[in-house]
Structure 1
Amino acid sequence: MSLKNFKIGAFILMMSLASCSNELDTDYTTGQGGDNLKDLIREYPYKLKSLVDGLYLFMVSYQGDHDSFNYTMTLHATDMMAQDISQPTSHYFSWDYLHRYRSAPNVRTAYIWNTFYTAIANGNRLLDMADELSEYIIGYDEDFYNSCLAETYAVRGMSYLYLIQLYQEVITKEIVNLQAPGVPLYFSTLDGVAEEEAEALKGRNTVARVFEQIEHDLTLALQLSANYDRQDDKRSIDSHVIHGLLARYYMLSQQWQKAADHAKSAYSGYSLMDVEQLKSGFMDATNPEWIWGYRHTIETQTTLVSWFSHISNNSPGYAGILSPRLIDYELYHSIPDEDVRKQLFNGPEGISQEDYQRFKVDIQTAPNIQNPYASLKFGRKDDWTQDYPYMRAAEMILIEAEAYAHMGNTVMAAEVVRLLMENRQPGWDMSEVDVEYIYHQRRIELWGEGFSYFDLKRLYKGINRAYDNSNHSIPGQFEVAAGANNWVFQIPRREIQDNPQIDESEQND
């Protein structure tokens, strides 16, 4: 990334975002903003956490358009490219759904690139400041200093984890393409990278080098978080979240035992939802199953320019009024009737009488909730303060189970996934499960939460929406093979123009 476009403006944005939520009443619009901020933190070291919170707020902010809401935009845009969501009418995210938005001239790749590299740039500048003011912050509380660094390194490591999957085919037929060209890496003064090396690393580093950085950042974050107790603030990253991010990374890099171990550590101490909680809208971070999520307030919600506006048929937003989100016909009919998760979707006849009574107030302003195969999973709040789920215990159970299945221990995989399935499907009883079974459970359990595209790439799968009785739109009924160019985003045109370390010849096909 060419940081000249972001390194000043983005950090000032982060400061102003943090000030909204934590009363940092400092003028960041003048040339002295950075110095004023340093003076403030020297006097009040605990204000450093406000800057960390600014990282999280940036993740749910938007870049100017109604389909550009940063982190969850990436999750939704990629979900729309996969198999499991049908979009019957054209509107926002239709070009993603039709696989026409991943090339360099289009805005989606720029939005995604800017989201993660702005988060990285903000994080590095925060680390620089923490390094410069370490004497004051450590003097205030060393554990606090370490926890702020831990959260920041975790955001950086997670950002690289997403970028490498979006901008390269990491897996080909179960082989990790370690020498394939990846993405640029950027550092803070705390990293101790020499200037000449840092400049060279602004180019397309190999997948292996990016993997090395992801593991470094997340492992360091885990070490630094050892004494951190976030209490009830699920917006903040703690050791459980970092274990979960490491579990995701080790699944991608095919280090199965490490993936299983970190996944188990991530969900340790968390309980699964009961049926009532499962049907309560996936919008409350106090849910006992949520490991990480964003707690929205009136000040942070973005109404129509939000993930819930596009994913929730219950809400009076784009999905509820204009372009509903439906579950794929084949996926719906593959769910056993006794599986309570089937109740999160309408059947072929549309909304049931029971659900009509439950949602009859919502229907008045969100009529698409009545459609055949419409999702009922994501709920509604009239003030748009639905919380965003980033990581749940169910995902981690599925990671642990899948990791054992990859290692050939299908009995252990069944024992682990039983924790989830006995909760979701009464009477479930299987002695062995394989990778395909667990992948199917991921499609059901994590529907709409931003995993489907990444699972397809990780497991080297394609899509086929052109089957008999398909409920995908006519333009959306096509096949995309595993490994096709469609699954790899092109680097934004401006990045290649502005970054001397990336040549046009290095562009993805």
Structure 2
Amino acid sequence: MKNKYIYALLVPVLLTFFGCEDLDTAPLGEDITTEQKAEVVENDPSKAAAGVNGIFAQFSQYAPNEDALGRVNHFDIGYGSVMMFSDANGCDVVQEDNGYNWMSGSLEYSDRDYTSRETQIIWNDMYAIISNSNNVIGSIDPATEEPVTQFYLGQGLAARAFSYWVLAQLYQFNYVGHESALCVPIITAENAIETSLAGGAPRATVEEVYTLMLSDLNTAITLLKSAEEGGSVRSDKRYVSLAVAYGLRARVNLTMHKYAEAAADATSAIAASDATPASIDEVSDPYFSNIEDSNWMWGVFVAETDDVVASGIINWISHMGSFNYGYCWYSGGRQINKALYNSISSTDIRKGWWTDENSYSANLTDIENAFMVDYQYRPYTQVKFAPYKGEIETSTNANDIPLMRIEEMYLIKAEAEAMSGADGISTLVDFVTTYRDASYSFAGDVQEEVFRQRRIELWGEGMNWFDIMRLNKGIDRRGGGYPNATMIFNIPAGSDILLWRVPEAEIQANPVISNGDNNPAAVAPSPVSE
């Protein structure tokens, strides 16, 4: 039986939010109205809470696509999969193509085949978040003035905008100049029945998708501001706060090259957040493993009891870590692009986030350095991400996953100020000298320097691909230290191979998307000399 991708994922927006024992016992044609569901939520907000928890549970899951793919795949872990695929597509997270590295398809771009496991995982995972977001949005009166339900509605809108922001940059090129190009289908709580009757939804244009994102975030910001004023705030950082919503809108505006708006939103995010950049002392040891750290604004909370942790190796840090048990011990781990590493000043504390050409990091203890040698990691291997609770060789892979850090907001602010005619250099220099390199100075192209700083600061956090696409960059791996000659590419900006394709299963199941509507089938890139 065909997998009804959008059809199966998104029709349930009006069918399953509360569960059949609560509301949905009638067939589709007799389903209760959105207004009736909203009334139930107003009377019992815990039902909306369950829906919101369902959204964020999608970010970290054990093999959510097992049924669709016919087996458990060890890189099928929720949003962490998207992070690892896109980083492997780039040129900064260097890794060996071997029998223990599940990212080989993304390293070589065979993931662009529309029957690949990767393309099905990305499509399913992001639309599952959209589906759960629509479940929440469709069950709450948009005019609600109750702080708790305002908070829940804000969660649904912000999460949906985030998902579309991710999808838009995987399935089409940068916003400016491609506004009329086909992007991804738009599914909302309002059009779910129409979509179900049509059997699916067409690909919307880039402009239409970004219009929805901004509308969602504008409303979410209004709701979350009102909710916070009314005393309804998030219980932990897995949820979206007002500051995070500003941060998401800053990302969208930056992607659209609306620089003045991006600078204003980044400034608002910093002001609204209680997060502060990690200090030079804090990042002088392996770090970035705990959602409670002061610099995290938003993240994926992973508990020791989660299935991904119980699996031992089917989790994000298993693939990404160096010190913890997992695929990292056998795949060769993850290295930084050698040319990027060499661009980092010796006075920058981040130089020690990776080992040097002699497999040594000044940020590590003697025991930690010996560990890196004993496990035969190559030079330039990451030691940025600490093992769970700082325990070397731990088999408890319960690391949280960063989705937004306050440092990113300072970098957005610097770039956006410079590109809109303000003094971005001062913002950039103040940030780097205070928190990363006291000897830092800079004069030149701020946008290019911020791009370099983002490559360093956000390395391994699944953000680099979005910079590549919004800045219309190519993929040049020459001089990067890739261990496989077959993985050294120089892909020009705008090449068709950079775009993901709508999965074949979606084409087959969705009568309003044809093969002719898909992104072009591109030939895999040919290796070039180092």
TM range (shorter): 0.7 to 0.9
Residue identity opposite 2:471 in structure 1: L
Change (3 A) 1:3 1:200: closer
Residue identity opposite 2:129 in structure 1: A
Change (3 A) 1:215 1:329: same
Residue 323 (1) aligns with residue 322 (2) = no
Secondary structure of 2:262 counterpart: helix
Q: RMSD of the alignment, in Å?
A: 3.2
Q: Distance in 2 between matches of 1:319 and 1:458?
A: 30
Match in the other structure for 1:169:
173
Residue identity opposite 1:404 in structure 2: E
Q: Tell me the number of residue pairs that the alignment of Structure 1 and Structure 2 aligns.
A: 482
Change (3 A) 1:13 1:129: closer
- Is contact 1:465-1:472 (8 Å) kept? no
Structure 1 residue aligned with 2:407, among 368, 387, 394? 394
Q: Distance in 1 between matches of 2:415 and 2:181?
A: 26
Change (3 A) 1:354 1:428: closer
Q: Deviation digits for residues 434-483 of structure 1, max 9, x if unmatched?
A: 2111111111111001111111111111122233x734421111211111
Once the 2 structures are TM-superposed, how far is the Cα of residue 89 of structure 1 from its aligned partner? 3.9
Comparing 420-429 with 237-246, which one deviates more in the overlay?
Answer: 420-429
Q: Distance in 2 between matches of 1:169 and 1:181?
A: 10
- Is contact 2:499-2:519 (8 Å) kept? yes
The correspondence of residues 99-114 of structure 1 with structure 2, limited to 5 A, is 99-114=109-124
Once the 2 structures are TM-superposed, how far is the Cα of residue 347 of structure 1 from its aligned partner? 0.5
Secondary structure of 1:130 counterpart: coil
Match in the other structure for 1:378:
385
Once the 2 structures are TM-superposed, how far is the Cα of residue 261 of structure 1 from its aligned partner? 0.6
Secondary structure of 2:110 counterpart: coil
Match in the other structure for 1:180:
181
Match in the other structure for 2:81:
73
Structure 2 residue aligned with 1:287, among 293, 301, 319? 293
Q: Deviation digits for residues 292-314 of structure 1, max 9, x if unmatched?
A: 11222123361322111111112
Q: Distance in 2 between matches of 1:148 and 1:352?
A: 44
Residue 125 (1) aligns with residue 143 (2) = no
Match in the other structure for 2:518:
507
Change (3 A) 1:352 1:427: closer
Structure 1 residue aligned with 2:7, among 4, 9, 12? 4
Residue identity opposite 2:498 in structure 1: W
Q: Distance in 2 between matches of 1:14 and 1:307?
A: 29
- Is contact 2:337-2:481 (8 Å) kept? yes
Secondary structure of 1:390 counterpart: strand
Q: Distance in 2 between matches of 1:453 and 1:431?
A: 26
Residue identity opposite 1:219 in structure 2: N
Once the 2 structures are TM-superposed, how far is the Cα of residue 10 of structure 1 from its aligned partner? 9.2
Match in the other structure for 1:459:
471
- Is contact 1:259-1:400 (8 Å) kept? yes
Q: Which sections of structure 1, spanning at least 5 residues, go unmatched?
A: 17-25
Once the 2 structures are TM-superposed, how far is the Cα of residue 356 of structure 1 from its aligned partner? 5.6
Structure 1 residue aligned with 2:263, among 260, 265, 268? 260
The correspondence of residues 3-402 of structure 1 with structure 2, limited to 5 A, is 3-7=6-10, 44-61=44-61, 62-63=63-64, 64=66, 65-90=73-98, 91-131=101-141, 142-171=146-175, 175-189=176-190, 195=194, 202-226=201-225, 227-228=227-228, 229-230=232-233, 233-268=236-271, 269-278=274-283, 279-300=285-306, 302-303=308-309, 304-352=313-361, 355=364, 357-359=366-368, 367=375, 370-381=377-388, 382=394, 383-402=396-415
Once the 2 structures are TM-superposed, how far is the Cα of residue 199 of structure 1 from its aligned partner? 5.7
- Is contact 1:89-1:324 (8 Å) kept? no
Secondary structure of 2:203 counterpart: coil
- Is contact 2:199-2:511 (8 Å) kept? no
Q: Distance in 1 between matches of 2:150 and 2:362?
A: 54
- Is contact 1:186-1:201 (8 Å) kept? no
Q: Deviation digits for residues 308-339 of structure 1, max 9, x if unmatched?
A: 11111121111133331011111111111000
TM-score calculated relative to the size of structure 1: 0.86
Secondary structure of 1:335 counterpart: coil
Change (3 A) 1:42 1:147: closer
Once the 2 structures are TM-superposed, how far is the Cα of residue 4 of structure 1 from its aligned partner? 3.1
Change (3 A) 1:68 1:15: farther
Q: Distance in 1 between matches of 2:208 and 2:362?
A: 55
Comparing 215-224 with 469-478, which one deviates more in the overlay?
Answer: 469-478
Residue identity opposite 2:300 in structure 1: Y
Q: Distance in 1 between matches of 2:15 and 2:402?
A: 27
Once the 2 structures are TM-superposed, how far is the Cα of residue 6 of structure 1 from its aligned partner? 2.2
Change (3 A) 1:194 1:72: closer
Q: Distance in 1 between matches of 2:406 and 2:362?
A: 32
Residue 437 (1) aligns with residue 441 (2) = no
Q: Distance in 2 between matches of 1:197 and 1:497?
A: 15
Q: Distance in 1 between matches of 2:343 and 2:50?
A: 46
Comparing 148-157 with 428-437, which one deviates more in the overlay?
Answer: 428-437
- Is contact 1:75-1:451 (8 Å) kept? yes
Q: Which sections of structure 2, spanning at least 5 residues, go unmatched?
A: 67-72, 389-393, 521-530
Residue 484 (1) aligns with residue 519 (2) = no
Match in the other structure for 1:425:
437
Q: Deviation digits for residues 87-146 of structure 1, max 9, x if unmatched?
A: 124220011011111221211111101111111112212222334xx99xx6xx811111
Q: Distance in 2 between matches of 1:353 and 1:451?
A: 26
Once the 2 structures are TM-superposed, how far is the Cα of residue 390 of structure 1 from its aligned partner? 0.6
- Is contact 2:290-2:400 (8 Å) kept? yes
Residue 470 (1) aligns with residue 481 (2) = yes
Comparing 413-422 with 217-226, which one deviates more in the overlay?
Answer: 413-422
Comparing 94-103 with 399-408, which one deviates more in the overlay?
Answer: 399-408
- Is contact 2:51-2:132 (8 Å) kept? no
- Is contact 1:14-1:55 (8 Å) kept? no
Once the 2 structures are TM-superposed, how far is the Cα of residue 280 of structure 1 from its aligned partner? 3.8
Change (3 A) 1:451 1:11: farther
Once the 2 structures are TM-superposed, how far is the Cα of residue 230 of structure 1 from its aligned partner? 2.9
Comparing 425-434 with 241-250, which one deviates more in the overlay?
Answer: 425-434
- Is contact 2:355-2:382 (8 Å) kept? yes
Change (3 A) 1:40 1:404: closer
- Is contact 1:413-1:433 (8 Å) kept? no
Once the 2 structures are TM-superposed, how far is the Cα of residue 27 of structure 1 from its aligned partner? 7.4
Once the 2 structures are TM-superposed, how far is the Cα of residue 85 of structure 1 from its aligned partner? 1.2
Residue identity opposite 2:417 in structure 1: Y
Structure 2 residue aligned with 1:495, among 470, 482, 506? 506
Match in the other structure for 1:22:
none
Comparing 244-253 with 46-55, which one deviates more in the overlay?
Answer: 46-55
Residue identity opposite 2:186 in structure 1: L
Change (3 A) 1:76 1:10: farther
Q: Distance in 2 between matches of 1:183 and 1:336?
A: 41
